[in-house]
Amino acid sequence: MAKVGIFWDPKGFQLDSLGTNKYLRATDGDTPYVSMSIRMLSIDTPEVHYPGITKPSKQDTNLSQLAEWMRQGKAPINDDLAEFLIQKLQSGTAGTLQEEQGEKASTAFQELIDKKLHEGGKNRTVYLHSAEKPFDQ
């Protein structure tokens, strides 16, 4: 069965061209219907969903402890990276800040979508272009 290379996933999942997968169906001879989350390249914001793990705000104490271990040389990490991370983690509120910044980013993105994609009360057509490389820097 032929595969359509429109999508990359860390697990190597691809959508099949015949539409047997629940994520894709053909609406006509040259238009696939795709309903899925997409990842935008060159944009990185803190996550707001934490399936299977504790919310970052509940990790503030642990992150401070990690900073202390880095300062003492007990963490197996490069000195330059440790120096950079210690500045971020030693505040005692690193997890809380991550949550707050993730929520602010989500709100700002929703406002952008509302402004750009729902102009004048109508949904606008979106053109998606896949990147030549599936990873950004």
Residue 7 lies in a domain: no
Residue 26: per-residue pLDDT = 65
Q: Which residues are bridge partners to 4 per DSSP?
A: 15
Q: 128 Cβ partners below 8 Å, 6+ apart?
A: 38
What are the distances in angstroms from CA 67 to CA 40, 50, 106, 108? Answer: 31, 22, 28, 30
| Largest CA-CA distance found in the chain, in angstroms, rounded | 63
pLDDT band at 65 (very low <50, low <70, confident <90, very high): very high
Q: 97 Cβ partners below 8 Å, 6+ apart?
A: 91
Residue 67 lies in a domain: yes
Instruction: Indicate the SS3 state at residue 36.
Output: coil
Residue 99 lies in a domain: yes
Residue 116 lies in a domain: yes
Residue 79 lies in a domain: yes
35 vs 12, higher pLDDT: 35
What's the CA gap between 20 and 111, in Å, rounded?
A: 35
Residue 93 lies in a domain: yes
Helix (H) or strand (E) holding 33: strand 31-34
Is the pLDDT assigned to residue 5 strictly greater than 60?
no
pLDDT tens per residue, range 7-31: 444 444 454 444 444 445 666 666 6
pTM (two decimals): 0.61
pLDDT tens per residue, range 79-121: 899 999 998 888 889 999 999 999 999 999 888 888 887 777 7
Instruction: Indicate the SS3 state at residue 28.
Output: strand
What's the CA gap between 35 and 22, in Å, rounded?
A: 9
Ramachandran region of residue 28, left (φ > 0), alpha (ψ -120 to 50) or beta? beta
Residue 70: per-residue pLDDT = 92
Residue 63 lies in a domain: yes
How many structural domains does the chain have?
1
Containing structural domain, residue 53: 46-124
Mean pLDDT rounded to a whole number for the chain: 75
Residue 129 lies in a domain: no
Is the pLDDT assigned to residue 69 strictly greater than 50?
yes
